[in-house]
Amino acid sequence: MNAEQKSFIEVVGAIASADMKNSGVAASLTTAQAILESAWGKSELTKTGNALFGIKATKDWKGKTLTRKTTEYEDGKKVQVEAEFRAYDTWEDSVKDHSAFLKKYKRYAKVIGETDYKEACKAVAAAGYATDPEYAKKLIELIETYELYNYDTKDTKTDDLGAEDKKYYRVQAGAYRRKEGAELMAEKIRKTGHKDVFVRMINGLYKVQAGAYTDRKNAEKTEKKLKAAGISCFIVCA
């Protein structure tokens, strides 16, 4: 695992772990799907639309969309088709919508609340999330290779500052009363090449944060890079 992959797992894993408390979707499953569907955050959909999961935009979707070519399996054979996908402002929004999508459809009922990652992977595949016949196997391999099951038990509550291993270091660049101002700052940060940027509502303010690191040194590197780009920021730990 290289540094870029490690950062991707730390960021998405932290978001997925926090989301799991509300959605019941295993963080390991969410993180593995994000890796597979977004090609470690490098897919066209992810880079242009913050879409980590390749969820198609059906007629009832009211949000942003992107039209891209995608690989499907028909009669066991790979084919290229053009489809319209959901797009988002942040990765956090993408994770939340992924969970909402799974909870909305009855065919995914066995995924919600499942604590055994293997069963969760089999259930999401059996429900038809992807047409790849090896989908469950690939997800399980990712979870076991990168020990993503650890995120199923992480405590990411922002008001629990007890044990050191429950903290994440984030680089914060402002707190705004209006979401529009926060989004402008988030976009400014993304233009520096840093894609792991989130707008979070905390204590009544929209806070712009980059990254989610278990090692403070990684947060310090991001802080240095943003300050070099003229962005005022500081490290928070929660």
Contact of 107 with 113, CB cutoff 8 Å: no
Same domain, 136 and 189: no
Same domain, 8 and 94: yes
Inform me whether the pLDDT recorded for 156 exceeds 60.
no
pLDDT at site 5: 86
- What CATH code is carried by the domain that includes residue 79? 1.10.530.10
Last residue of a domain, one of 131, 152, 173: 152
pLDDT band at residue 158 under the 50/70/90 scheme: very low
Give the pLDDT mean for 4-15: 86
pLDDT band at residue 169 under the 50/70/90 scheme: confident
Inform me whether the pLDDT recorded for 157 exceeds 50.
no
Same domain, 168 and 141: no
Q: Which residue has the tokens 């977004």?
A: 38
pLDDT at site 140: 96
Q: What is the pTM of this model?
A: 0.64
User: What residues are annotated to the active site?
Assistant: 72, 97
Q: Is residue 157 part of a domain?
A: no
pLDDT at site 237: 81
Same domain, 147 and 173: no
Last residue of a domain, one of 105, 123, 152: 152
pLDDT at site 167: 67
CA 31 – CA 218 distance, rounded (Å): 20
- What CATH code is carried by the domain that includes residue 225? 3.30.70.1070
Q: Is residue 142 part of a domain?
A: yes
Domain that holds residue 169: 164-237
Same domain, 31 and 109: yes
Same domain, 128 and 169: no
Distances in whole angstroms, Cα of residue 8 to Cα of each of 187, 195, 205 = 19, 10, 26
Same domain, 89 and 176: no
Inform me whether the pLDDT recorded for 4 exceeds 90.
no
Q: Is residue 202 part of a domain?
A: yes
* Sequence-ordered list of residues with C-beta below 8 angstroms from that of 38, at least 6 positions apart, any chain: 45, 46, 51, 52, 53, 54
Q: Is residue 16 part of a domain?
A: yes
Same domain, 29 and 145: yes
Inform me whether the pLDDT recorded for 184 exceeds 70.
yes
Which string of DSSP letters, residue by residue, matches the chain? --HHHHHHHHHHHHHHHHHHHHH---HHHHHHHHHHHHTTTTSHHHHHH--SS--B--TT--SEEEEEEEEEEETTEEEEEEEEEEE-SSHHHHHHHHHHHHHHSGGGTTTTT---HHHHHHHHHHTTS-S-TTHHHHHHHHHHHTTGGGGGS----TT---SGGG--EEEEEEEESSHHHHHHHHHHHHTTT---EEEEEETTEEEEEEEEESSHHHHHHHHHHHHHTT---EEEE-
Q: Is residue 159 part of a domain?
A: no
Q: Is residue 184 part of a domain?
A: yes
Give the pLDDT mean for 182-192: 90
Same domain, 35 and 140: yes
Q: ∠ at Cα 52 (181, 186), nearest 5°?
A: 15
CA 8 – CA 178 distance, rounded (Å): 28
pLDDT at site 77: 67
Last residue of a domain, one of 119, 152, 185: 152
Q: ∠ at Cα 88 (190, 31), nearest 5°?
A: 85
Same domain, 118 and 174: no
CA 46 – CA 33 distance, rounded (Å): 13
Same domain, 200 and 123: no
Contact of 32 with 121, CB cutoff 8 Å: yes
Q: Is residue 80 part of a domain?
A: yes
Same domain, 141 and 34: yes
- Measuring CA to CA, which residue among 24, 26, 3 is closest to residue 139? 26
pLDDT tens-place string over residues 99-142: 999 999 999 999 999 989 999 999 999 999 988 889 999 999 99
Q: Is residue 188 part of a domain?
A: yes
CA 32 – CA 47 distance, rounded (Å): 18
Chain centre distance of CA 36: 12
- Tally of structural domains, the chain: 2
What percent of the chain is modeled with pLDDT above 70? 89
